Amino acid sequence: MPKSVLYPALLAGTLLAASALAAASPSGEGGALPGPQPIATGLSGGMLTDYDDLAEGFKGTELHHNGVTYREVNGIGGVFPDGDTFTPDDVGDELIIEDAGYLFDDFPDFGSTPNVLTFGTTFMPGPNLSLGALVQVTLALDTPATAASFEAIYYENGPWGGIQLHLDAYRNGVLVGSDVATLSDLGDRDNLTTRTFSVGGATFDTLHFHATYDGQPSAPRVMIDNLRVTPEDALFADGFDGAAPLLADYDDLTEGFKGQSMHYQGATYRDVNGIGGVFPDGDTFTPDDVGDELVIEDAGYLFNDFPDFGSTPNVLTFGTTFMPGPNLSLGALVQVTLDLDAPASAASFEAIYYENGPWGGIQLHLDALDGGTVVASDVVTLSDLGDRDNLTTRTFSVKAARFDSLHFYATYDGQPSAPRVMIDNLMLTP
Ligand SMILES: [Ca+2]
Ligand SMILES: [Ca+2]
Ligand SMILES: [Ca+2]
Ligand SMILES: [Ca+2]
């Protein structure tokens, strides 16, 4: 039986939109947005589908758009973590373009305003929004691809905690790549979070994005945006020779302080913190408060709650302290510079950090520099939706024709800030 458990998320979405209403620009910007971007190279890394040129509303059970056929939405029943069940009718089977304009007030770094893709049974006309139920959707590609990614926003913690979201890539029906996230279950409920799903490193013709709980279909509330697909031919056009990326997982290092500089897996880490700054509540910190050491932290217990984060047991953190053994402490990160042994065209790492009070509003920036000039950036604004010290994860990534150093740093209102951050699985692509 459909029960109210399906709908607290809708309520939360409405509240989010209501709170954003006061801050919304009266003029709106939807009409002035550029249309779909052409096939791009370099920074954008593939063909971008932003959904912003489509009209809001139901698009039926199948949609062909920008080289992708979306089909087989939901259509099956399943379970929620609390034991409740749902039928195909409860979750609907339509593709929906949702004008989510108010969402971007709270998540300015998510996707592209105003439209996103969601699923199921409902949408809210205009810039208000509702996150639809996603059990599954298939994306059949017009031409084979070697990489694909999109940004997703969804509710985590109660009653969604423990659901897994899977992005699977298939070639001729054979699974060739996967990316999976387990929704956090740290108390509280209906917390919006974002994550980039990506697959690559193999050629594929179909993507399957689906949700499970305990191996059975489940139905979290999900919207996606900014699908990027890299056609197979793009590799050859770029002269990419398939050189293997270099992975820094830190797991072969000994836990402890590593000093103010460290060379590891193709990068020299240096210039940790060393400056003072501000917190969102107006408090300030000195260089001594935040320390300046690189720290390898055995974070073993973290992976019980975040099995999909990084690689167990070690992560890289910063500052003044660590906890011996599998317990852990997230260190203060104001800034760190990585000089690369060889130029790179792409870099990414996973980060875990606290958001909401007292961290909300801090920005984390990853800049890629070539000869001291910033050539690519990735930035996130830490959410500030109430509650406090909520752990969340995000993959930071940059792509450019060439860069030789990375700068990862935190600001609040344009001044240095010091959120608590750990990183893992740095990938450098030549
Ligand atoms: Ca809407
Ligand atoms: Ca969009
Ligand atoms: Ca430890
Ligand atoms: Ca690791």
pTM here is 0.51
Distance 99 CA to ligand 2 centre (A): 8
The answer to whether the beta carbons of residues 87 and 2 sit under 8 Å apart is: yes
Length in residues, the chain: 430
Q: Would you say residue 315 has pLDDT above 80?
A: yes
pLDDT tens string 324-348: 999 999 999 999 999 999 999 999 9
Distance 162 CA to ligand 3 centre (A): 25
Under the banding of pLDDT at 50, 70 and 90, the label for residue 393 is: very high
Q: Would you say residue 219 has pLDDT above 90?
A: yes
Q: Would you say residue 281 has pLDDT above 90?
A: yes
CA distance 172 to 125: 39
Higher pLDDT, 334 or 26: 334
Determine the pLDDT at residue 9. 34
Distance 129 CA to ligand 1 centre (A): 4
Distance 297 CA to ligand 3 centre (A): 5
Q: Nearest ligand, CA of residue 252? A: 4
Q: What is the mean pLDDT of residues 275-304?
A: 96
pLDDT tens string 32-57: 222 233 333 333 457 899 999 999 99
Rama region for 340: left / alpha / beta (φ>0; ψ in -120 to 50; rest): beta
Helix (H) or strand (E) holding 19: helix 8-21
Distance 398 CA to ligand 4 centre (A): 20
Closest CA to 333 of 309, 316, 312: 316
Distance 115 CA to ligand 1 centre (A): 8
Q: Which domains does the chain have, with CATH numbers?
A: 4-237 (no CATH), 246-429 (2.60.120)
Distance 131 CA to ligand 4 centre (A): 33
CA distance 25 to 220: 30
Q: Nearest ligand, CA of residue 30? A: 2
Q: Residues within 5 Å of ion ligand 3 by Cβ? A: 297-298, 323, 328
The answer to whether the beta carbons of residues 417 and 279 sit under 8 Å apart is: yes
Distance 330 CA to ligand 3 centre (A): 10
The answer to whether the beta carbons of residues 89 and 168 sit under 8 Å apart is: no
Distance 263 CA to ligand 3 centre (A): 21
Q: Nearest ligand, CA of residue 126? A: 1
pLDDT tens string 103-144: 999 999 999 999 999 999 999 999 999 999 999 999 999 999
Q: Nearest ligand, CA of residue 295? A: 3
Q: Would you say residue 15 has pLDDT above 70?
A: no
Determine the pLDDT at residue 11. 34
Q: Nearest ligand, CA of residue 129? A: 1
CA distance 239 to 230: 14
Backbone angles phi, psi at 237, to 5 degrees: -60, -35
The answer to whether the beta carbons of residues 342 and 354 sit under 8 Å apart is: no
Distance 294 CA to ligand 4 centre (A): 15
Q: Nearest ligand, CA of residue 251? A: 4
Find where tokens 């024709």 sit.
401
Distance 363 CA to ligand 1 centre (A): 27
Determine the pLDDT at residue 36. 30
Distance 294 CA to ligand 3 centre (A): 14
Tokens of 234: 């793009």
Determine the pLDDT at residue 113. 95
Distance 386 CA to ligand 4 centre (A): 30
Under the banding of pLDDT at 50, 70 and 90, the label for residue 243 is: low
Distance 312 CA to ligand 3 centre (A): 11
Determine the pLDDT at residue 45. 55
Q: Nearest ligand, CA of residue 115? A: 2
Determine the pLDDT at residue 2. 30
The answer to whether the beta carbons of residues 73 and 93 sit under 8 Å apart is: yes
Q: Would you say residue 147 has pLDDT above 50?
A: yes
Determine the pLDDT at residue 187. 83
